[in-house]
Structure 1
């Protein structure tokens, strides 16, 4: 994994602690999905959607990232790490919107953080 990769997910403190085992990172070209010591790398161009779901954990929205890998759809559900002082997920969405305009993206608002 690129040491300059930016983290876009967080693990919930208690509820859902065991449900979200993946941590997501990105750089200019790749998405990295880390589970324990294993890291999977996917080109950002393979991402087809980043959508907000209607589920919440600890009053935070659950997001779903869908991509195509080896001609199959894969989805990862995660909680964002966005806060007023940490805009990493917002930076990720802006990068995806600019570089990959065909990717379906949910809008990020104050109510969907």
Structure 2
């Protein structure tokens, strides 16, 4: 990969992440949809879970970090690295909050 190709690829990734953050912040989709897309789309899947959770409307950083720690999920885990048990735990703990925030 040449330098110009690498710069282009990096710009594509940054643009995709920025778009994702805007969509999450606008509550265009919920946690379940995010996790589903993250398993199929490599750009979304490479995003860190904590970053995505903190992008939801009304999400508080400290509370989000504490909840992940309580569930035994690392702050640095990427969406496509999640095991099924972790996904189920996330949905049961965070989905009601993300859906409630989306309806406000």
TM-score (norm 1): 0.28
More helix by share: 2
Larger Rg: 2
Higher-RCO chain (CA-CA 8 Å, sequence separation at least 6): 2
More strand by share: 1
